């Protein structure tokens, strides 16, 4: 980065829009014709951040309300179109967003779930009282989950029960999932024989192993997962993972340790100090982070999904933007010089209070508006800007829940605006994230007066809210295509009623052509429902021709845009 560029950025950041525009017109690095632009985006391809892991667009489903039963699982005999009992619309939609990984069975449900209950003949499975005050039929279990993943074409991510099952059940669950069929070399003087758990799996319908790589070692162990201290959890993590069976180099075991509630860096620091006190941390691959954005500035999991003021709109997006701090704070708090362990943000989303659920038995289901689409864009852009740190992220939860891509009730189905944003961000996956500077007037958060509640179901603590919201935010990535470099730029304009004419420049390169997709609506309260499944949907963006290697583009008010730019 040149000194001039750095100082100009610093200047622009502290400038008002008018001053910034003047500076740009006079500045040497942006020595281009004066434009009428209201805002500026500068992409710096020679400042790569990291490869964007496709897994940051991953998913999460839990035995909760109408997520599994009705949402995902309708049963083989159902009149609702299904593939071996799995709702066909669910599969098709997950394929449409090329879902990379799917987390199950919880959430809080995981730490009282016995995986043995969900295998074997369905009509013989026990019904259990489970977390969330539910009776679970166990009709949907391990095999059904893996069949769901296979139908989608995604990797399974299992959250293991740490609170109520012993370590032996953890490694035997791995054995049941991953031991190959047929005789296994004994690696001893004993003869090769079939593995008993693999044979049981075959008897239950799947001779081929499930090859599960991602294993969550517990869930929210500071809360519903056991009310543990970081030191207690570290000791248990070490015991559960000290020895586990592995069978193939193609199926590396990647363990995810329970991380903080929101921005509780104290948990992360103490956890890593404790883990570091014993250097053996086999297969610790990720640190789970949960950060939910409450629909209320003052109360967790409150506020209305559909009725909100302009102030509440900006406040939610400002508090959602806090995800950036969550990512950078925990990255530092891990104190891991080599940073072999990455962040796995395996629960995120906007969480509202009751009022818009599909029906009372669909616990935690809620509607999703354009506001949630904007939060989705802001959040995915944060993960993309921190591609060197975030290895996976799982939206909570994919269907009939907190920040869903789909709503389904019996034979009724719709996608939400959030689904469209996931689709629009597809070109980023696997590309190289590059530094991008946005200059636009920021928005004052009118509700930034209180400490905001943080975290998940077992929320504790509070954080200082973001006082301002970025006027434009986004990220850019570069992928090599057959005939040159292809740049993807995603941008969120959160201003409710202000479009931004924006000058886009690529440092050291020229834009030769551009096309795009935009998600915008007349009203930020707009949403899809069963009667109006296409009320909110993306459109082709009106994109002009670049001039002198730069592009002037207008980002509509309250919109998410993907631009695909071809570079010289
Ligand atoms: O996603 C709902 C709940 O939120 C999860 O079960 C839990 O992990 C979190 O507190």
- Ligand 1 centroid to Cα of residue 456, in Å, is 6
Ligand 1, closest atom to CA 110?
A: 6
User: Is 50 exceeded by the pLDDT of residue 27?
Assistant: no
Cβ proximity of 139 and 75 under 8 Å: yes
Residue nearest (by alpha carbon) to ligand 1 atom 7? 107
List, in order, residues 6 or more apart from 119 with CB less than 8 Å away.
125, 141, 142, 143, 176, 200, 201, 204
Q: CB neighbours (10 Å) of residue 362?
A: 21
| Candidate of 456, 458, 460, 461 to mutate for ligand 1, largest count of ligand atoms within 8 Å of Cβ | 456
Kindly give the number of the ligand 1 atom that is closest to the alpha carbon of 456: 10
**Pairing between β-strand 254-257 and β-strand 284-294 as defined by DSSP bridges:** parallel
CA of 59 relative to ligand 1 center, distance in Å: 13
Q: Which of 64, 109, 347, 461 is the best mutation target for the ligand 1 pocket, counting ligand atoms within 8 Å of the beta carbon and taking the most?
A: 347
Mean pLDDT is lowest, of 102-116, 270-284, 298-312, 543-557, for 270-284
Mean pLDDT of 385-396: 98
Indicate which atom in ligand 1 lies nearest the CA of residue 131: 6
Q: Which of 130, 161, 162, 219 to mutate to test the pocket of ligand 1 (most atoms within 8 A of CB)?
A: 219
Residues 6 or more apart whose CB falls under 8 angstroms from that of 96 comprise 419, 423
For residue 320, give the 3-state DSSP assignment. Answer: helix
Cα(497)–Cα(216) distance, rounded to whole angstroms?
Answer: 43
Which numbered atom of ligand 1 lies nearest the CA of 132?
Answer: 6
Residue that wins the pLDDT comparison between 436 and 509: 436
On the question of pLDDT at 375 being above 70, the answer is yes
pLDDT in tens, 504-521: 999 998 999 999 999 999
Residue 276 pLDDT level (bands cut at 50, 70, 90): confident
pLDDT above 50: residue 390: yes
CB 416 within 8 A of CB 405: yes
Confidence (pLDDT) at 5: 39
DSSP states of 182-235? SEE--SSSSPPEE-HHHHHHHHTT--S-----EEEESS-TTTTTT---HHHHHH
Distance 82 CA to ligand 1 centre (A): 27
> Which residue has the CA at smallest separation from atom 5 of ligand 1?
107
- Pick the range with the lowest mean pLDDT from 60-69, 283-292, 428-437, 450-459: 450-459
Q: Which residues line ligand 1 (CB under 6 A)?
A: 62, 106-108, 219-220, 347, 396-397, 402, 456-458
**Sign of the torsion angle spanned by Cα atoms 227, 229, 232, 234:** positive
**Residue 1 or residue 382, greater confidence:** 382
Q: Is the pLDDT of residue 15 over 90?
A: no
Q: From residue 289, give the alpha-carbon distance in Å to each of 192, 214, 292.
A: 42, 15, 10
Nearest CA to ligand 1 atom 10: 457
Q: Strands 284-294, 473-481: parallel, antiparallel or unpaired by DSSP? A: unpaired
DSSP 116: G
Atom of ligand 1 at shortest distance to CA of 364?
Answer: 2
How many angstroms is it from 344 CA to the middle of ligand 1?
A: 15
- State the distance from the centre of ligand 1 to the C-alpha of 219, rounded, in angstroms: 9
Cα–Cα nearest to 469, from 353, 343, 331, 312: 312
- From the alpha carbon of 455, which atom of ligand 1 is closest? 10
Nearest-CA residue for ligand 1 atom 6 is: 107
Integer Cα distance of 388 and 342 in angstroms: 8
Buried b (16+ CB within 10 A) or exposed e, 133-154: ebebbbbbbbbbbbbbbbbbeb
CA distance 98 to 96: 5
Find where tokens 């590396």 sit: 252
Neighbours of 335 (CB within 10 A): 12
Question: pLDDT tens-digit profile of 533-564?
Answer: 999 999 999 999 999 999 999 999 999 999 99
How far is ligand 1, taken at its centre, from the CA of residue 391, in Å?
Answer: 20
Question: Ligand 1: which residue has its CA nearest to atom 8?
Answer: 107
pLDDT band at 10 (very low <50, low <70, confident <90, very high): very low
Three-state secondary-structure class, residue 465: coil
Q: Which atom of ligand 1 is nearest to 219's Cα?
A: 8
SS3 of the chain: helix, strand, coil, percent, to 5: 25, 30, 45
Question: Which atom of ligand 1 is nearest the CA belonging to 62?
Answer: 6
- The pLDDT of residue 482 is 57
Q: Tell which atom from ligand 1 comes closest to the C-alpha of 396.
A: 1
Paired tokens of 404: 């869903």
CA of 310 to the centre of ligand 1 (A): 28
- The predicted structure's pLDDT at residue 457: 64
Task: Tell me the CA–centroid distance for residue 550 and ligand 1, in Å.
Answer: 45
Q: Where are the alpha helices (DSSP H) in 288-365?
A: 310-321, 323-333
Instruction: Please tell me the distance from the alpha carbon of residue 249 to that of residue 254, in angstroms, as a whole number.
Output: 12
- Using CA atoms, how far apart are residues 213 and 144, in angstroms rounded to an integer? 17
Give the ligand 1 atom nearest the CA of 106. Answer: 6
Would you give the distance in Å from CA 462 to the centre of its chain?
22
Q: Which of 156, 159, 177, 173 lies closest to 55, judged by CA?
A: 156
Mutate which of 104, 224, 260 to test ligand 1's pocket (most atoms within 8 Å of Cβ)? 224
For the segment 461-466, the average pLDDT, to the nearest whole number, is 76
Mean pLDDT to the nearest integer, 466-493 = 89
Instruction: Write out pLDDT tens, residues 138-184.
Output: 999 999 999 999 999 999 999 999 999 999 999 999 999 999 999 99
User: Is the predicted pLDDT of residue 485 greater than 90, yes or no?
Assistant: no
Ligand 1, atom nearest to 60 Cα: 1
Of 117-126, 144-153, 288-297, 532-541, give the lowest mean pLDDT range: 288-297
| Cα of 159 from ligand 1 centre, angstroms | 12
What is the whole-number distance in angstroms between the Cα of residue 246 and the centre of ligand 1? Answer: 29
Mean pLDDT over each residue of the chain, to the nearest integer = 91
The residue-averaged pLDDT of 83-101 equals 98
Pairing of strands 254-257, 500-506: unpaired
Confidence of residue 455 (pLDDT cuts 50, 70, 90): low
Averaged pLDDT for residues 307-315: 97
Residue 394 CA, ligand 1 centroid: distance in Å: 12
Out of 63, 66, 107, mutate this one to test ligand 1's pocket (max ligand atoms within 8 Å of CB): namely 107
**Average of per-residue pLDDT across 451-466:** 71
User: What's the chain's length in residues?
Assistant: 568
User: Which are the contacts of 329, defined by CB distance < 8 A and separation ≥ 6?
Assistant: 263, 265
Backbone torsions φ then ψ of 488, nearest 5 degrees: -110, 130
**What are 465's two structure tokens?**
């809210």
Q: Indicate the SS3 state at residue 40.
A: strand
């Amino acid at each position: 980065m040149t000194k001039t560029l750095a100082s100009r950025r610093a200047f622009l950041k502290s400038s008002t829009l008018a001053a910034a525009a003047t500076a740009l017109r006079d500045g040497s690095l942006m020595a281009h014709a004066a434009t009428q632009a209201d805002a500026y985006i500068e992409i710096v391809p020679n400042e790569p951040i990291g490869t964007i892991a496709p897994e940051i667009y991953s998913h999460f489903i839990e035995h909760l309300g109408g997520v599994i039963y009705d949402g995902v699982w309708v049963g083989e005999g159902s009149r609702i179109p299904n593939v071996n009992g799995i709702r066909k619309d669910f599969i098709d939609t997950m394929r449409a967003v090329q879902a990379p990984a799917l987390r199950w069975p919880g959430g809080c449900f995981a730490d009282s779930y016995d995986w043995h209950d969900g295998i074997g003949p369905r009509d013989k499975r026990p019904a259990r009282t489970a977390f969330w005050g539910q009776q679970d039929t166990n009709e949907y279990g391990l095999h059904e989950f893996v069949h769901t993943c296979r139908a989608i074409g995604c990797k399974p991510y299992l959250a293991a029960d740490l609170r109520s099952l012993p370590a032996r059940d953890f490694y035997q669950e791995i054995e049941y999932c991953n031991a190959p069929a047929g005789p296994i070399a004994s690696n001893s003087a004993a003869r090769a024989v079939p593995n008993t758990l693999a044979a049981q799996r075959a008897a239950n319908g799947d001779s081929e192993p499930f090859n599960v790589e991602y294993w969550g070692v517990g869930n929210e162990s500071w809360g519903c997962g056991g009310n543990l201290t970081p030191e207690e959890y570290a000791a248990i993590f070490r015991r559960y993972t000290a020895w586990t069976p592995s069978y193939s180099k193609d199926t590396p075991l990647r363990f995810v340790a329970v991380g903080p509630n929101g921005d509780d860096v104290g948990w992360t620091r103490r956890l890593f100090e404790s883990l570091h006190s014993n250097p053996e941390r086999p297969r610790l691959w990720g640190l789970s982070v949960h950060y939910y954005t409450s629909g209320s500035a003052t109360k967790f999991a409150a506020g209305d999904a559909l009725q909100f003021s302009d102030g509440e709109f900006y406040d939610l997006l400002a508090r959602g933007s806090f995800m950036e701090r969550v990512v950078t704070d925990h990255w530092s708090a891990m104190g891991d010089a080599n940073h072999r362990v990455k962040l796995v943000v395996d629960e995120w989303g906007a969480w509202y209070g009751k009022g818009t659920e599909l029906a009372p038995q669909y616990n935690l289901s809620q509607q999703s508006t354009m506001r949630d689409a904007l939060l989705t864009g802001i959040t995915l852009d944060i993960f993309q800007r921190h591609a060197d740190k975030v290895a996976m992220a799982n939206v909570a939860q994919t269907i009939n829940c907190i920040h869903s891509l789909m709503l389904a009730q019996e034979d009724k189905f719709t996608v939400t605006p959030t689904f469209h944003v996931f689709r629009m961000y597809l070109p980023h996956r696997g590309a190289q994230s590059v530094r991008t500077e946005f200059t636009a007037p920021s928005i004052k958060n009118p509700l930034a007066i209180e400490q905001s509640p943080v975290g998940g179901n077992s929320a504790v603590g509070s954080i200082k809210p973001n006082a301002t919201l970025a006027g434009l935010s986004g990220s850019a990535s570069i992928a090599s295509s057959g005939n040159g470099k292809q740049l993807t730029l995603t941008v969120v304009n959160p201003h409710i009623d202000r479009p931004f004419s924006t000058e886009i420049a690529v440092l050291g390169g020229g834009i030769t052509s551009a096309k795009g997709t935009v998600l915008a609506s007349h009203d930020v309260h707009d949403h899809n429902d069963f009667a109006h499944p296409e009320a909110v949907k993306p459109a082709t963006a009106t994109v002009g021709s670049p001039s002198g290697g730069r592009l002037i583009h207008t980002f509509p008010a309250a919109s998410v845009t993907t631009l695909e730019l071809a570079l010289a």
